Chain A
Amino acid sequence: MAYCPKCGIKVEGDNQPCPLCSFHIPKVNEEREAIVSVRKFPKTANPYPAYLRRVLNRIFIFLSLLVLVAVCLVFYIDYSLNDMFTWSRYSNLSILAGWVVLYFSFGYVQSFYKVIIGIGLDAFVLLFGLDIFNGRLEWFFPLAFPIIAGATVISVSYWSVIRALSVRGFNMIGYFFMAIVILSMWINFFIHNYQNKTNPLNWLIVTILQLLPVLLVMIYVKYGMPERIKQKIARKFHL
């Protein structure tokens, strides 16, 4: 029998962490008096992860069948009314794109990067289809393609930065806002460009002029502000 030096409790086996405080209990039993220990508990199995997977699989298969039925029904109605596929192409492409998102949300793909890229590709296909069904591509290349590509790239970089710098808690929200600002600028640029309201160089100068003061204020608050004023702000605004 061995004792934990910190808890004072007795345990059967020595040379292992204390079951209560994890302090390592030193070896005290001589080799020859080593006790033949009988397992008191089995190597346990946990059925819940497999069970949860089974339930999710069932729900996913049910929803997939529902999607299949809906797609067939919509095609049938459209064809019987118009003798060709007209509006049903739009709705069915949307339903199928939704189904792909569903597939990702059920956790069949573990890597977050693959999920982001997958959903991005799904959006590409959806928007490309919606545009080309009109007969010719109008807005896909000037608008949809860069916006989705930007959103995907920014999501992937956000996730990489969060992981690389081990960002936690409130800072995650801070970084999220930064990503949103960059994305908004990106989207803004392409919308303006599409409407031919401005030339890219002017747009860049105006945006930088807008953001520069904000950036300078933030850098000043972080590095340049005297401790006294920081204390004062903390006093006035503490929660």
Chain B
Amino acid sequence: MNDDKLWYRLDNAGKLYSSIISSRATTLFRLSATLTTPIDPVLLQSALESALERFPFFKVQLKQGFFWYYFEGTKQIPKVEEEIYYPCMSLSIKKRGSFPYRVYYFNNRISLELSHSMTDGTGGLKFLYELVKQYLHLKESVPLKRETISNTQLRLETENSFRKFYNKSIPAPRSRSGNVFKLPIQLDKKGYYHIVTGIISVEELKKRAKEYDVSITILLTAVYIQSLLKIQERTSRRKRPIVINVPVNMRSFFETNTMRNFFVSITPTIDARLGEYEFEEIIQEVKIEFSRLLTPKKLKQYIKRSVISEKFLVLRLMPSPIKDIVAPSIYSFFGEGQYTSGLSNLGIVSVPSEMEPFIERVECYPPPSIGNKVKAMLISYKQHVYISFGNLSKDRMLEREFFRNIRELGIEVTIETNDEES
């Protein structure tokens, strides 16, 4: 097989993300694993090469076609680098020879920064898992299970599941529009991205969530909305709805093995114009919204909405340089403009018991976004939930409010940031 001939179409989410890339909105999100010993770059490089053997889908570079971007197979191998930049920053994946992801190491931590045009959090986690597995095999002699990957499986991993579950006759959901609340904060200079990570005990969160009879995601979404309501109360005279963008991993609802983007966004909303909300009321509303939308039938509507946007003929016939010009404004108007902020839960990470002693923690950082200057992403590993806020502004009003509210629920929080020492 000649690798040069190999190419993939982008999925509909990837098509959008590839066109909106800028020096601030890099579309990169970070998944990182902190091990117990300092990282050996040479071993990490060979681990990366083995991981790429397992996932040939990652041996690609982003190329510009006449109408759409696409991924082209390459024989080049990405190099692991020591971390020197702010997280999720300073990688232009469109540059020739650049990969749509990079692997960083710093002290004990391996970080994988992936462009959202390539895959979503779940796909990225699979690759990170493979990378860490290969690394621990080389470094700590953790045994590898021999597994043979058939060509069929490789094909299934690269399939576009949006298209697979797309049904033409299903109507798209009525899209909500309107003037939503935006945080009154200013962008920092280019190249800066401020991370605040809160470390919370899973047990404590579970206990609190159980008291309200909801899941951890719903509890945290409700706290998030409550924090935004309080900020709006303080800073803005006119009340606007709070709309949170919560990505849903569709793999839990539809049978697929894909490594590519397969998520839709649901938008729990609290309309602040209707009056003051108690925390219990917010929780109830979010709970109802989640159970109402998270059914395969309703989600198929959201798939429909994702796919029709890329089937729109005028958009398809537009040359890709022109798409690059119009896409950012379309995205900020119809996409991010419709949300106040985003909260994404990557779920629970579990690794085999022989690997667990070597991995101290797993974290994820959200991609920087100009329309929603602050976004949050959370992941659970062992006894802790790591919830990370990515912020393009220096102002930490949302982080402060959110973690104070968590404390008010009686839950302990440990805070870490990426610019405490600079």
A47 on interface, CB distance cutoff 8 Å: yes
Of all chain B residues, the one with the shortest Cβ separation from A11 is B415
On whether the beta carbons of A42 and B84 are closer than 8 Å, the reply is yes
B416 on interface, CB distance cutoff 8 Å: yes
Q: Which of B351-387 contact A (CB under 8 A)?
A: none
B106 on interface, CB distance cutoff 8 Å: yes
The 9 closest A-B pairs by CB, nearest first: A46-B191, A8-B407, A48-B191, A20-B400, A48-B190, A10-B414, A19-B417, A41-B418, A9-B413
Contact for A16 among B87, B90, B190, B420, CB less than 8 A? B420
B403 on interface, CB distance cutoff 8 Å: yes
A233 on interface, CB distance cutoff 8 Å: no
B192 on interface, CB distance cutoff 8 Å: yes
Contact for B414 among A9, A40, A43, CB less than 8 A? A9
A45 on interface, CB distance cutoff 8 Å: yes
Q: Once bound together, how far apart are the Cα atoms of A44 and B195, in whole Å?
A: 13
B334 to chain A, nearest CB (A): 28
Proximity string of chain B (277-294) to chain A, C-beta cutoff 8 Å, 1 when within and 0 when not = 000000000000000000
B337 on interface, CB distance cutoff 8 Å: no
On whether the beta carbons of B403 and A40 are closer than 8 Å, the reply is no
Chain B residues, Cβ within 8 Å of A236:
none
Q: Once bound together, how far apart are the Cα atoms of A157 and B193, in whole Å?
A: 39
A38 on interface, CB distance cutoff 8 Å: yes
A222 on interface, CB distance cutoff 8 Å: no
Proximity string of chain B (189-219) to chain A, C-beta cutoff 8 Å, 1 when within and 0 when not = 1111000101000000000000000000000
Having A39-B421, A41-B106, one finds 10 other A-B pairs with CB under 8 Å, namely A7-B403, A7-B407, A9-B403, A16-B420, A19-B416, A20-B403, A38-B108, A40-B107, A42-B83, A46-B85
Chain B residues, Cβ within 8 Å of A20:
196, 396, 399-400, 403-404, 415
Query: Can you identify 18 A-B contacts, CB atoms within 8 angstroms?
Result: A8-B404, A8-B407, A8-B413, A9-B413, A9-B415, A10-B412, A10-B413, A12-B414, A12-B416, A19-B420, A20-B404, A39-B107, A40-B107, A41-B106, A41-B421, A43-B421, A46-B189, A49-B191
Chain A residues, Cβ within 8 Å of B90:
46-48
Q: Hey, which bits of chain A sit against chain B, CB under 8 A?
A: 1, 7-13, 16, 19-21, 38-49
Q: Hey, which bits of chain B sit against chain A, CB under 8 A?
A: 23, 82-87, 90, 106-109, 189-192, 196, 198, 396, 399-400, 403-404, 407, 412-422
- Using A9-B198, A42-B84 as known contacts, say yes or no to A47 and B416 having CB atoms under 8 A apart: no
Q: Once bound together, how far apart are the Cα atoms of A40 and B109, in whole Å?
A: 9
Chain B residues, Cβ within 8 Å of A38:
107-108
Q: Once bound together, how far apart are the Cα atoms of A47 and B109, in whole Å?
A: 22
Chain B residues, Cβ within 8 Å of A7:
400, 403-404, 407, 415
Q: Once bound together, how far apart are the Cα atoms of A39 and B109, in whole Å?
A: 11
On whether the beta carbons of A47 and B191 are closer than 8 Å, the reply is yes
Q: Once bound together, how far apart are the Cα atoms of A8 and B399, in whole Å?
A: 13
On whether the beta carbons of A40 and B416 are closer than 8 Å, the reply is yes
- Using A7-B400, A19-B196 as known contacts, say yes or no to A44 and B107 having CB atoms under 8 A apart: no
- Using A7-B404, A19-B420 as known contacts, say yes or no to A48 and B23 having CB atoms under 8 A apart: yes
A27 to chain B, nearest CB (A): 16
Chain A residues, Cβ within 8 Å of B106:
41-42
On whether the beta carbons of A44 and B85 are closer than 8 Å, the reply is yes
On whether the beta carbons of A46 and B86 are closer than 8 Å, the reply is yes
Of all chain A residues, the one with the shortest Cβ separation from B109 is A40
B335 to chain A, nearest CB (A): 24
A138 to chain B, nearest CB (A): 50
Q: Once bound together, how far apart are the Cα atoms of A16 and B420, in whole Å?
A: 9
Chain B residues, Cβ within 8 Å of A43:
421-422
B90 to chain A, nearest CB (A): 5
Chain B residues, Cβ within 8 Å of A42:
82-84, 106
Chain A residues, Cβ within 8 Å of B87:
41
Q: Once bound together, how far apart are the Cα atoms of A21 and B417, in whole Å?
A: 13
Of all chain B residues, the one with the shortest Cβ separation from A7 is B404
Chain B residues, Cβ within 8 Å of A9:
198, 403-404, 407, 413-415
Contact for B418 among A12, A13, A16, A40, CB less than 8 A? A40
- Using A12-B416, A40-B416 as known contacts, say yes or no to A45 and B189 having CB atoms under 8 A apart: no
- Using A8-B404, A9-B407 as known contacts, say yes or no to A45 and B417 having CB atoms under 8 A apart: no
B61 to chain A, nearest CB (A): 20
Q: Once bound together, how far apart are the Cα atoms of A221 and B46, in whole Å?
A: 78
B153 to chain A, nearest CB (A): 37
Of all chain A residues, the one with the shortest Cβ separation from B420 is A19
On whether the beta carbons of B400 and A44 are closer than 8 Å, the reply is no
Q: Once bound together, how far apart are the Cα atoms of A8 and B192, in whole Å?
A: 27
B272 to chain A, nearest CB (A): 24
Q: Once bound together, how far apart are the Cα atoms of A133 and B164, in whole Å?
A: 77
Q: Once bound together, how far apart are the Cα atoms of A234 and B349, in whole Å?
A: 63
A9 to chain B, nearest CB (A): 5
Of all chain A residues, the one with the shortest Cβ separation from B87 is A41
